[in-house]
C-alpha cells in the first residue's frame, strides 16, 4: 500500500471521526443545555498574538477567531487520521481496540495540546462535567475513525 493511499485513507477516517466528534458535542450541548466552548477561538486569538498576526478589528477578529477555531478542529481531526494512516503505511498494525486507543490518545493531544500550551485552558483544573464534555466526543472520534481506517483497508 502506498504512503499516499494510506494518508488519504487516514484523512478520510479522520474526517469521519471529526463528524462523530462534532455530533457528540452538539448532542451533549442539546441534552445538557450547555453553551459551546470558547476555547477554540481563544486558542486562535492567543496563537495570532504569539505570531504577531492581526486578525482584524473587533467585529471581524471575533468572527475570524470563531471560524479559525472550527477550522483548527477540522484540521486536528483530519490530520490525526492522516498520521494514523502514515503509521499504517510504516508498518504499524493493530486491531480495533489498539487502533481506537492510539487514535483516542492522538486526538486528545491534537485537540487539547495547543490550548494547554498557549495557556487558554488547564485540564488539571477541569471538573468532572468538563472532562465528560471533552472525553466523550473524543472517544466517539476514536471509535469512528478507527473503524473507518480499518474498514478502508483491503481484506
Q: 43's torsion region: left (phi>0), alpha (psi -120 to 50) or beta?
A: alpha
Answer whether 74's CB lies under 8 Å from 20's CB.
Answer: no
Domain limits, the chain: 3-37+71-152
Cβ(152)–Cβ(13) below 8 Å: yes
* CA 36 and chain centroid, separation: 15
Q: What mean pLDDT comes out for the span 115-128?
A: 95
Q: How confident is the model at residue 75 (pLDDT cuts 50, 70, 90)?
A: very high
pTM above 0.85, yes or no: yes
Amino acid at each position: 500500500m502506498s504512503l499516499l493511499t494510506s494518508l488519504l485513507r487516514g484523512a478520510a477516517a479522520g474526517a469521519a471521526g471529526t463528524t462523530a466528534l462534532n455530533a457528540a458535542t452538539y448532542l451533549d450541548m442539546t441534552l445538557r443545555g450547555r453553551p459551546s466552548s470558547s476555547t477554540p477561538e481563544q486558542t486562535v486569538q492567543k496563537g495570532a498574538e504569539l505570531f504577531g498576526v492581526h486578525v482584524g478589528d473587533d467585529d471581524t477578529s471575533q468572527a475570524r477567531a470563531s471560524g479559525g477555531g472550527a477550522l483548527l478542529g477540522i484540521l486536528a481531526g483530519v490530520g490525526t487520521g492522516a498520521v494514523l494512516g502514515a503509521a499504517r503505511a510504516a508498518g504499524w498494525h493493530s486491531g480495533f481496540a489498539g487502533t481506537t486507543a492510539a487514535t483516542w490518545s492522538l486526538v486528545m493531544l491534537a485537540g487539547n495540546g495547543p490550548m494547554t500550551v498557549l495557556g487558554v485552558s488547564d485540564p488539571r483544573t477541569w471538573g468532572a462535567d468538563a472532562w465528560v464534555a471533552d472525553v466523550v466526543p473524543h472517544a466517539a472520534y476514536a471509535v469512528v475513525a478507527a473503524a473507518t481506517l480499518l474498514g478502508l483497508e483491503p481484506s
